[in-house]
């Protein structure tokens, strides 16, 4: 058996809809985003996930939970607050059967969207008009040019990929199936390594909202596969 890894960019958020730079601003899904999450869930409903990872932002967490509501095995996702010892103690489960029906969900800011600095909350069309299209494209689409006081894609990769290596790949090595619900840039950072893409290639790589990407892992390499 080979392990499956599904990367799911959150559905459209309220600020996606308004064309605002969002970054780490913790806004929720739009009505369309909710529909996209349900649609994504139908596409991955047959994959027996063993563990789920999300960012700390609600749009990624909502997407994962709405998608999993369509899952056929009906296991219950359960958020594990691994950095809160008090919560872990208070949330102990005293029923082995109930615990066996859970899918652990882990959260990390290392999977958060690229932080857009002083662009956060600004309208993309207005930023383009104010600074010019060339500068706008550099801030939004280049690999290593960050927006003012923000992160570049390279900087995002420097947190997302080490987290993947430290926390996630061990599940795949154990032939467990993993769902990651996160963001366009944090997921592109991971894809860059999975597919060995160059900086020039990754800036052209698009991950649509609510559209799952699936990879298999045979213990040595990742291969993209259809759902």
Catalytic machinery residues = 10, 113
Cα separations in angstroms, 37 against 64, 105, 169: 7, 17, 24
Helix (H) or strand (E) holding 14: helix 14-17
Quote the DSSP letter at residue 147: P
Residue located via tokens 């789920």: 52
Of 136, 138, 117, nearest in space to 128 by CA: 136
Of 121, 91, 98, nearest in space to 23 by CA: 121
Of 199, 167, 193, nearest in space to 180 by CA: 167
């Amino acid at each position: 058996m080979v392990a499956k890894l599904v990367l799911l960019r959150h559905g459209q958020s309220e600020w996606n809809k308004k064309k605002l730079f969002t970054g780490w601003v913790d806004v929720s899904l739009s009505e369309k985003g909710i529909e996209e999450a349900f649609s994504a869930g139908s596409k991955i409903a047959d994959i027996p996930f063993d563990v789920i990872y999300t960012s700390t932002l609600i749009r990624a967490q909502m997407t994962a939970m709405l998608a999993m509501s369509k899952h056929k095995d009906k296991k219950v996702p359960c958020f594990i607050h691994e950095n809160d010892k008090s919560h872990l103690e208070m949330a102990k489960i005293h029923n082995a059967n109930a615990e066996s029906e859970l899918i652990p969900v882990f959260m990390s800011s290392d999977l958060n969207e690229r932080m857009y600095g002083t662009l956060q909350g600004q309208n993309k069309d207005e930023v383009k008009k104010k600074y010019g299209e060339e500068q706008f494209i550099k801030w939004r689409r280049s690999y290593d040019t960050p927006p003012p006081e923000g992160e570049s894609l390279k900087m995002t990769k420097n947190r997302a990929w080490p987290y993947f290596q430290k926390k996630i790949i061990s599940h795949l090595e154990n032939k467990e199936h993993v769902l990651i619900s996160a963001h366009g840039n944090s997921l592109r950072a991971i894809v860059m390594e999975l597919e060995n893409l160059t900086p020039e290639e990754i800036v052209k790589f698009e991950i649509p909202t609510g559209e799952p990407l699936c990879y298999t892992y045979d213990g040595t390499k990742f291969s993209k596969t259809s759902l």
